[in-house]
Structure 1
Amino acid sequence: MTSRLVLVPPAIGVALREARFYDGSSSIDEAGAARARAAAGAVPEAARVVLSPGARCRETAEALGLRGVVAAELAPLDAGRWRGRALAEVAAAEGEALARWLADPECAAPDGESVRAVCARVGRWLESVPEGRTVAVVEPDVVRAAVVHALGLPSGAFWRLDVAPLTVTELSGRAGRWNLRLGRPLAAD
C-alpha cells in the first residue's frame, strides 16, 4: 500500500506579512483564519493528522476543522537568536552572518540550525510515515525540507522552493521512493 502525505502550510498572519523569523508564538490573523475556515471542506480525509509545533499551525488546523497531534520533529528551521526578529532587522545588524546562512546549507543560524540539519530531521520523519493518508499542517520550512528529501535534491535548493499559505503539496510513495504533486490551492470547490 502507498503512503500519502498532504502537507498544508498555515494561514497568513502578522509575522508572515512582516517577514519575521519563526518564534512559535505568532498567530494567524482573522483574514487568514477566515480563508482557512472557507477551505475546510477541501482537506482530504486522512487516517491521521499531525502538526508542526507552534500557534499558527494549531490555529490553522482548528480553522480547517482538523484535530491532530504535534510532532516535534516537524518543527521549522530553528533560527536561533534571530527568532521573532524581522528579516530586514537581521540583515541590517548581521548581514554577513545572514548571507552565509542563506547561501550555505551547512551553516547554522547563530544558536540555531542549518538547512541541512532541518532537511535531515524532516527526512527521517518522512521515511516513518505509515501507509494510508496523513495530513500535516506544517510550517513552510517543513514543506521545503520534505520536498528536498523526497526528491533527493541538494539541500541548497531549500531556499529556492516557494511555499504559499494554505496550499497543498502532496507526496506519495512507498519503499523510500516519493512522487510529488505541488502547489494546489486549498480551497473549497
Structure 2
Amino acid sequence: MLVAPVLGAAGREARFGDGSAPSDAELAPARALAAPRADRVLAAPSPRCRRTAGALGLAAEAEPALADLDPGGWRGRPLAELASGEPESVAAWLSDPEFAPPGGESVAALLARVGGWLDALPAGAGRVLAVAEPAAVRAAVVHALALPPAAFWRLDVAPLTATSLSGRSGRWNLRCGAPLTARQLT
C-alpha cells in the first residue's frame, strides 16, 4: 500500500519541491488519521514523507527508491515561471518521458527506479505500507499495470490517500485513492 504524504507549501503554490519539511499545521490532518496495519513500513527519504509517517504514528525505515522525481535546476521554482520562461522545456518534460530538467531526472528514469523497487519486493513480504511521494505512487501504478509512460501525467494522487497494489511482479491488481480513516478516540 502506498500512502501519499500531506500536501505542503510547494504543492499548494504549484512549484517544484525544495525538500522543506511540512509545518505542524500541515501535518495536523495526518495526525487525525489511522494508518493501515502493515508488516513493514517504509517512507521516501524526504522530510515531507518521513514527517507524514510520524504524524500517522508510523515508525518507517527510509526507502530511497520512493523519492520524488528529481527536478534538478527547477527545484523550488514555480511551474508558471518555468512555463513562461522555458515553454519548450516544460512542454518536452510533459510529453517526452526521456526528457530531464537540467541536472534532474526523467520520468523514464523514475519509472525504472520505482519499478525496480516494486519488482524486488520479496514474495511473502507481508503487507508493506510506504509513505511515498505522489510521483513515486504514479510511477508504481504505471509500472504495475504496464501502462505507457505517457499515462504518468494522467494520474492524480491526492494527499493522504492510499493506493493499494496487491499481487506480485507481473500480476498486480490496483485499488487507488482510498481515503485513510479517522483515528478512534479512546
TM-score range, shorter chain: over 0.9
Counterpart of 1:90 (choices 59, 82, 86) is: 82
CA displacement at 1:175 relative to structure 2: 4.5
CA displacement at 1:27 relative to structure 2: 2.3
Q: Distance in 2 between matches of 1:167 and 1:142?
A: 14
Q: Distance in 1 between matches of 2:154 and 2:76?
A: 22
Contact 2:16 2:75 in 1 (8 A): yes
* 1:154 paired to 2:142: no
1:108 alignment partner, SS class = coil
Contact 2:10 2:18 in 1 (8 A): no
Counterpart of 1:111 (choices 81, 93, 103) is: 103
Number of residue pairs the alignment of both structures matches: 181
CA displacement at 1:28 relative to structure 2: 2.2
* 1:59 paired to 2:51: yes
Q: Deviations over 1:142-175 (max 9, x none)?
A: 0000000000001110000000000010000124
Moved more, 158-167 or 50-59: 50-59
1:183 alignment partner, SS class = strand
Amino acid at match of 1:36: A
Q: What residue ranges of structure 1 are gaps of 5+ in the alignment? A: 1-5
The aligned counterpart of 1:3 is none
Amino acid at match of 2:36: P
The aligned counterpart of 1:171 is 165
| TM-score when normalising by structure 2 | 0.92
Contact 2:114 2:136 in 1 (8 A): yes
CA displacement at 1:29 relative to structure 2: 3.5
| TM-score when normalising by structure 1 | 0.91
